[in-house]
A = this chain, B = another copy of it.
Amino acid sequence: MDIATTRKPHERLAETLSGEMQQVNQLIRTRMASEHAPRIPEVTAHLVEAGGKRLRPMLTLAAARLCGYRGQDHIKLAATVEFIHTATLLHDDVVDESKQRRGRPTANLLWDNQSSVLVGDYLLARSFLLMVETGSLRVLEILSNASATISEGEVLQLTAASDLSTDEKIYLQVVRGKTAALFSAATQVGGLIAGAPEEQVQALYDYGDALGIAFQIADDLLDYRGDSAATGKNVGDDFRERKLTLPVIKAVAQATPEERAFWQRTIEKGRQDDGDLEQALALMDKYGTLDATQADAVGWATRAKSALSPLPDDPLRDMLLDLADYVVDRLN
Contacts and interface: CB of A to CB of B under 8 A. Distances in A.
Interface of A: 34, 36-40, 91, 94-95, 113-115, 117-122, 124-126, 128-129, 132, 135, 137, 140-141, 144-145, 147-148, 150-156, 158-159, 173, 177
B119 A148 contact: no
A150 B40 CA distance: 13
Contacts of A122: 148, 151-152, 155
Contacts of A34: 152, 155
A86 to B, nearest CB: 13
24 contacts: A36-B153, A37-B152, A40-B155, A91-B121, A94-B113, A95-B113, A95-B114, A95-B117, A113-B113, A114-B158, A115-B155, A117-B117, A121-B147, A121-B154, A122-B152, A125-B145, A126-B144, A128-B144, A132-B137, A132-B140, A132-B144, A135-B137, A137-B137, A140-B140
Given A118-B158, A121-B147, 11 more contacts: A34-B155, A36-B173, A36-B177, A40-B152, A94-B117, A121-B150, A121-B154, A125-B145, A126-B144, A129-B145, A132-B137
* Those 3 A-B pairs whose CB atoms lie nearest each other, nearest first: A125-B148, A125-B147, A122-B151
A19 B155 CA distance: 33
Contacts of A36: 152-153, 156, 173, 177
A173 B38 CA distance: 14
Contacts of A150: 121, 125
A107 B89 CA distance: 22
B37 A159 contact: yes
Given A114-B95, A144-B125, A147-B125, A39 B132 contact: no
Contacts of A141: 129, 132
Contacts of A151: 118-119, 121-122, 125
Contact of A147 (B128, B137, B140, B145): B128
A148 B177 CA distance: 24
Given A122-B151, A125-B144, A117 B91 contact: yes
